[in-house]
Structure 1
């Protein structure tokens, strides 16, 4: 049956034409990224310090010995992460690195499938090859594999967490999040989503798993206390290299601290207002709320914390996929200009205009994250103001056209399975239009 799917056929519909065109492009791109670019590697090697630390851990030697005065990648994982990753040093460096590349590539592919299922698409839909190609064309996937970082596994943990959270399997959702936090705290802001949804059991395993792993790793490590006294303070320091957070670029360009803090505070206020609007009007629209709020939280953490690196943007894939929903905040060109800034693999360094090219290359990630947060705030703010003018605030802020039946020409509904209305339209189907609500209130009164 599988081989029949590979049989060359002439496309009869537009959807088939797109699928037949995109699948070879997507598959060959994946193979190139995994077996050519990743195996070739690059000057930046995130894996070597991880392998060395794992080897030191297995042989009872000190782990936290990095020279923080250099700009080379440093080993920053806590003892719990060291315990989880240590088995990779059981074989020689080269084979271990290939295995780690394969592990992350497989994790990204599983995350790709879970992302399709989250939005009710199948591997037979047009969305499948389009999403796969887009993911492996992005800077975040390419450099995760080339630098041999653990971000692919963190993305998989995020998708598992979201799926289990939506299914109300709280302890398992927390366990998936806890395993990722045990290695690196990138996904820790997602605990806020569990908090506002009242899913308290998530915290039991999300915090319990890294605590338990730390308790196991601590007596097995030669110098675990050095993580707290030496490595942790460095993590919370801002640096002016390989840092696309506001504070990182502020230090690189010599901005005064008051200006850097001012920008961070303004963006922080916009983020809080955005999250309030999402919670107030969209918390019952579960897929939209969880994916959009997680995207806002993670983008804010990249932009406003002490360290933000471009390939962290991999964790925004669930947010970007909300574009297929009719009430998505990403259905406008400024949003995708922002996404280009932090997702594109293009380099803007110029031999002819060196100063301008350098600024474009160094600032596009920061501007991209910032513009994305601004776009989300403006879209939701515009909906809020329009709803207030129309007297719809007690019920919803989506305009009327978003409540209508999906257009068959809409790519969000093309080649997809029948949608679960609870996932994308639960609020609108339950509440109806503002006028219907008003009629119901008047009749019941």
Structure 2
């Protein structure tokens, strides 16, 4: 049995043939073209951010749309796409998302010491592109989650190489675009890496403050978006996407009790993470 595993491992670690890379390139390019032809508006999530950027360019508050659930820095990050012609953006956006996912895959490989040119790298990415639904969904929606998908393995690779401050900067950049990786700052807390923690917190804070200074409604994230995220009382947010306190509230639990339960659940999650770190 061990001999068989060794043989398979050895076969996967060998460099992939040129024809495999050509097939992979064709598959990835076909996915980009398909999305560009099928989804001319750039997808749901992407369109929300672009509309916010266009609203800012027109002098309006991006937070007038209660469904814009991003930090102020995301508004400025979306400006280049808002200025692009739709005929260009509809292909350039899925191409950029695909490139981000490929970069994340490459970093994940290096975390485990797998060569970029190996058969495992090529066939693994091919399997993701053809058979992993979230991969296709991110490309189709132009979802900004791709920033987290690309930068999380990059940050972990930097941590593995003891470059903690650089990892903090990478996590901070991802949070500034979309705060999906905010819980990752616990890694720096547990590791007692104060400079890395400062970088992870300082980058999104600095970007948000700088962006807020040029927005017509700088407090919109706190007065409109944050309450919406906590309540989730909108048909736009499905029940499984709402916060725990919002879900419990819909089930008839008093708001104070729902908030307490949600807080206890969050504290339990942090405790479990601490135990796992230990």
> Same fold judged by TM-score > 0.5?
yes
CA shift in 2, pair 1:267/1:78, >3 Å = closer
Does the residue aligned with 1:64 lie in a helix, a strand or coil? helix
**1:188-233 Cα deviation digits (max 9, x unpaired):** 1111111111211112221111222122212211122222211221
Q: Which has the larger radius of gyration?
A: 1
Q: 1:41 aligns with which of 39, 56, 64?
A: 39
Deviation at 1:268, TM superposition (A): 6.2
| CA contact 1:47–1:147 (8 Å) conserved in 2 | yes
| CA contact 2:176–2:204 (8 Å) conserved in 1 | yes
Deviation at 1:128, TM superposition (A): 0.7
The alignment status of 1:151 with 2:145, answered yes or no, reads yes
The alignment status of 1:188 with 2:187, answered yes or no, reads no
The alignment status of 1:85 with 2:84, answered yes or no, reads no
CA shift in 2, pair 1:148/1:165, >3 Å = same
Deviation at 1:75, TM superposition (A): 1.9
Report the counterpart of residue 179 of structure 1 in structure 2.
173
Does the residue aligned with 1:61 lie in a helix, a strand or coil? coil
The alignment status of 1:119 with 2:119, answered yes or no, reads no
CA shift in 2, pair 1:260/1:144, >3 Å = farther
How far apart are the structure 2 equivalents of 1:228 and 1:269? 23
More divergent stretch after superposition (92-101 vs 153-162): 92-101
Q: 1:244 aligns with which of 237, 240, 252?
A: 240
Does the residue aligned with 2:31 lie in a helix, a strand or coil? helix
Report the counterpart of residue 63 of structure 1 in structure 2.
62
The alignment status of 1:139 with 2:133, answered yes or no, reads yes
Q: 2:88 aligns with which of 88, 95, 103?
A: 95
CA shift in 2, pair 1:51/1:270, >3 Å = closer
Normalising by structure 2, we get a TM-score of: 0.77
Does the residue aligned with 1:236 lie in a helix, a strand or coil? helix
Which is helix-richer, 1 or 2? 2
Unmatched segments (≥5 aa) in structure 1: 1-12, 69-73, 281-445
CA shift in 2, pair 1:160/1:243, >3 Å = farther
Higher RCO structure (Cα 8 Å, ≥6 apart): 2
CA shift in 2, pair 1:134/1:261, >3 Å = farther
How far apart are the structure 2 equivalents of 1:206 and 1:16? 35
**1:44-74 Cα deviation digits (max 9, x unpaired):** 62222221211222332222222x5xxxxx3
Deviation at 1:260, TM superposition (A): 8.6
How far apart are the structure 2 equivalents of 1:148 and 1:179? 18
| CA contact 2:45–2:144 (8 Å) conserved in 1 | no
Normalising by structure 1, we get a TM-score of: 0.51
Report the counterpart of residue 49 of structure 2 in structure 1.
50
Q: 2:162 aligns with which of 162, 168, 173?
A: 168
| CA contact 1:79–1:214 (8 Å) conserved in 2 | yes
How far apart are the structure 1 equivalents of 2:153 and 2:14? 30
CA shift in 2, pair 1:93/1:191, >3 Å = same
CA shift in 2, pair 1:138/1:76, >3 Å = same
Report the counterpart of residue 233 of structure 1 in structure 2.
227
Map 1:25-424 → 2, pairs under 5 A: 26-37=24-35, 39-41=37-39, 45-66=44-65, 68=66, 74-136=67-129, 137-238=131-232, 241-245=237-241, 251=247, 255=251, 257=253, 271=269, 274-280=272-278
How far apart are the structure 2 equivalents of 1:255 and 1:79? 33
Deviation at 1:158, TM superposition (A): 1.0
Question: How many residues are aligned here?
Answer: 260
Deviation at 1:92, TM superposition (A): 2.1
